[in-house]
Structure 1
Amino acid sequence: MDTSSKATSDVTSIDEGYRKTEEKLEEMLGTLNEGYKWVVISPRCFQYKGFWLPEIYIKGSMMIDDHFKPRPSDIIVASNPKCGTTWLKALTFAIVNRNSYFDFQNHPLLTSNPHDFVPFLELFILQEAGSIESLPSPRLLSAHLAFSSFPTSMRCRFVYICRDPKDALVSMWYYVNKLRPEHLPPLSLEVTFDLFSKGLSLFGPFWDHVLGYWKASLESPNKVLFLKYEDMKREPSVYVRKLAEFLDLPFSAEEEDEGIVDKIVKLCSFENLSNLDVNKNNVKEKKRGFPAPLRNSDFFRKGLVGDWFNHLTPEMVKVLDQITEEKFRGTGLNFN
């Protein structure tokens, strides 16, 4: 079979798989608990494998189970929403491709959004049938799925970023309201807090999501790198080096002398990325399954640590801190 025939066959096979997955999903949805209609990524949200997922992500997760062929060289940038995903994607892309894109004055990240280079696996496998297999190694992909949601056959590397749940909540609140259809009223902070604290947020419970990757990083430190947003903001150069070492791409002495680490930090900084024309003015097309189009500017707000102080009441802070302390007790993980 020639290359073109094989490619056509692969696409046909995945399209058929997509159809069968949709049929299986429709049969299964009636058996799942339905949650709050966030109406952001999908109209409906269900509890699947212990987490609250938009319907389209459940479909993507099922496609991963049935059709994704992981490679040991694959790199999955994983996160709960609004925990530094865009930043980590940019850093990972810049590190992995620094030999190809060494001119930081004409770097692809200056004219394209990081999400264009590190697509969400759950959505990519639905929207770009057959093309995943044609991507060269190492494949850079991302995910919001919990670690336990992936097949045990995933022998690739995961880089996970988490964030203080108070900041994650505030950032999610802003993000959800940016993406809500215009015919719906905005969500109040009180409603968002109530859902988040009860574990009913998108891809939540938040704490279970974090703990899944944390425990995996302790059990398999060569497979899962666990990062905190706050640590990375405090010492970005330290964690850029750590990320490069984890990916078996450490910076050479020559690169250190040339200041490559600092150049990557500056290129991928919130201040730089958020002020680029492509991230201020570009409008993405509406994706299949999404109720509204995404703008590149939607991925940027403030990028600050501790902005929760300007939004949450003392009672909200007390509740979230108490949940965090109880959930993480005895695990060695904290956000202090």
Structure 2
Amino acid sequence: MSRTIFDRDESIEEDNQLSQEVKEMLISLPRQKGWNTPYTYLFHGFWFNPKEIQVLRTFQNHFQAKDSDVFVATVPKSGTTWLKALTFAIMNRQHHFISSKNHPLLSFNPHDLVPFVESNLYDQHDKIPDFSNFHEPRLFGTHIPFDLLSNSIKDSNCKIVYICRNPFDTFISSWNFINKVEPPPTPPLNLEEAFEMYCNGSFGRGPFWKHMLSYWNESKERPKNVLFLKYEDMKEDAKFYLKKLAEFLECPFTLEEENEGVIENIIKLCSFEKMKELEINKIGTFQGFGMKVDNKLYFRKGEIGDWINYLSPSMVEKLSKIIEEKLGGSGLNFRVK
């Protein structure tokens, strides 16, 4: 298991992307070896690299939510790209007809249409984004746990759609992804080391169980403001959950739309198979989280149960025990195959 380190990280003093406030804060935070940076730090119960902590502080201090805002929130590699596409298509179907050959989803990656607040908008501590050109309702994406969202979001009436995936597939998808982005970890992060980091909570804005529970519990407290979805359920019955999503967003499908096949057309437009074959998702790139990502990396397999090709029986047993220990009694459970 990774060792928690408390000594000073001299490298942060040289980082001009960090404010003095964050540099001083990092000195006092526990740290471990990072999964895509030299170190990751424990910040209010969650593990982040220094740049992510900087972004969080800037976002928390300056973002002003509007009641009409919509956030697509996820644990990384849990169906983020798919949910962004579906949400964009549902919310904009009056302006961009689903059957149109010029639909934005045919020319832009969903991450370009639904920007991450922490990587696209608040990626510089000395620059506050200009939202004057954003059409309302504003649509954002985030991997930030609910507990660390800005108070303006928590105190507003905005909508948050959250999706998570069974932790086995989430881990495998994350591990494959992080070893292919630019710059990749040096040396590459091997499966066993990444798995240990995942299990102790320090991998991918973890602990994953706290990330999931932060939104799960809030969805129980405020179901009109937080919709909690599971990737496996949506794959099994996409039409049912699209109708549920549209109702939650207060733009339900009309009977006429249902009869005209609008829901089925959205499912087809946003399907893994359709999006993977688009030119923009074959050759385009996305800049975010301090990395350069080829769009094609967002479309690896999209399958349920791929973890069985990677994890040993002892790994499965260990992760199963962690899931039971951390999520048992919460009512949150997963189908893994």
TM value normalised by structure 2: 0.88
Unaligned runs of 5+ in 1: 1-18
Number of the residue aligned with 2:145: 146
Number of the residue aligned with 1:86: 81
Number of the residue aligned with 1:165: 167
Match of 2:215 among 213, 216, 231: 213
Number of the residue aligned with 1:6: none
Match of 1:191 among 185, 190, 193: 193
Q: Distance in 1 between matches of 2:67 and 2:116?
A: 18
- Residue type at the aligned position of 1:319: K
Q: Distance in 1 between matches of 2:38 and 2:257?
A: 48
Shift of 1:106: 2.4
- Secondary structure of the corresponding residue to residue 33 of structure 2: coil
Q: Distance in 1 between matches of 2:208 and 2:237?
A: 25
Instruction: Give matches, 1:216-295, under 5 Å.
Output: 216-284=218-286, 286=287, 290=290, 292-295=291-294
Number of the residue aligned with 1:114: 110
- Residue type at the aligned position of 1:88: L
Number of the residue aligned with 2:5: none
Instruction: Give matches, 1:29-178, under 5 Å.
Output: 29-39=26-36, 44-104=39-99, 105-123=101-119, 124-126=121-123, 129-154=128-153, 155=156, 156-178=158-180
- Secondary structure of the corresponding residue to residue 46 of structure 1: strand
For the 8 Å contact 2:89–2:98, the answer to whether it is kept is: no
Quick check: 1:27 aligned with 2:24?
yes
- Secondary structure of the corresponding residue to residue 35 of structure 1: strand
Shift of 1:54: 2.4
- How well do the aligned residues superpose, as a CA RMSD in angstroms? 1.9
1:151-209 per-residue CA deviation (whole Å, 9 max, x = no partner) reads 33312211100010000010011001012536822211111111101111120001111
1:284-329 per-residue CA deviation (whole Å, 9 max, x = no partner) reads 4x55x61x42111121110001111111111111111111111112
1:116-155 per-residue CA deviation (whole Å, 9 max, x = no partner) reads 0111111212357432344121110011111001133312
Shift of 1:103: 4.5
Q: Distance in 1 between matches of 2:185 and 2:228?
A: 39
Q: Distance in 1 between matches of 2:321 and 2:117?
A: 34
Residues 48, 238 of structure 1: alpha-carbon distance in 2 compared, 3 angstrom cutoff: same
- Secondary structure of the corresponding residue to residue 219 of structure 2: helix
Shift of 1:275: 1.2
TM value normalised by structure 1: 0.89
For the 8 Å contact 1:217–1:225, the answer to whether it is kept is: yes
**Which one is further off, 125-134 or 249-258?**
125-134
Q: Distance in 2 between matches of 1:282 and 1:142?
A: 19
- Residue type at the aligned position of 1:94: A
Residues 176, 130 of structure 1: alpha-carbon distance in 2 compared, 3 angstrom cutoff: closer
Q: Distance in 2 between matches of 1:20 and 1:178?
A: 24
- Residue type at the aligned position of 1:45: T
**What number of residue pairs does the alignment pair up?**
313
For the 8 Å contact 2:162–2:228, the answer to whether it is kept is: yes
Number of the residue aligned with 1:15: none
Number of the residue aligned with 2:13: none
- Residue type at the aligned position of 1:91: L
Stretches of 4+ aligned residues off by more than 4 angstroms? none
For the 8 Å contact 1:125–1:132, the answer to whether it is kept is: no
For the 8 Å contact 1:35–1:45, the answer to whether it is kept is: yes
- Secondary structure of the corresponding residue to residue 301 of structure 2: coil
Residues 325, 183 of structure 1: alpha-carbon distance in 2 compared, 3 angstrom cutoff: closer
Residues 114, 239 of structure 1: alpha-carbon distance in 2 compared, 3 angstrom cutoff: same
For the 8 Å contact 1:146–1:213, the answer to whether it is kept is: yes
For the 8 Å contact 2:86–2:266, the answer to whether it is kept is: yes
Residues 183, 49 of structure 1: alpha-carbon distance in 2 compared, 3 angstrom cutoff: closer
Q: Distance in 1 between matches of 2:98 and 2:174?
A: 34
For the 8 Å contact 1:86–1:114, the answer to whether it is kept is: yes
- Secondary structure of the corresponding residue to residue 60 of structure 2: helix
Q: Going by fraction, where is helix more abundant, 1 or 2?
A: 1
> Identity of paired residues, percent?
45
Residues 21, 222 of structure 1: alpha-carbon distance in 2 compared, 3 angstrom cutoff: farther
Unaligned runs of 5+ in 2: 1-15
Residues 83, 183 of structure 1: alpha-carbon distance in 2 compared, 3 angstrom cutoff: closer
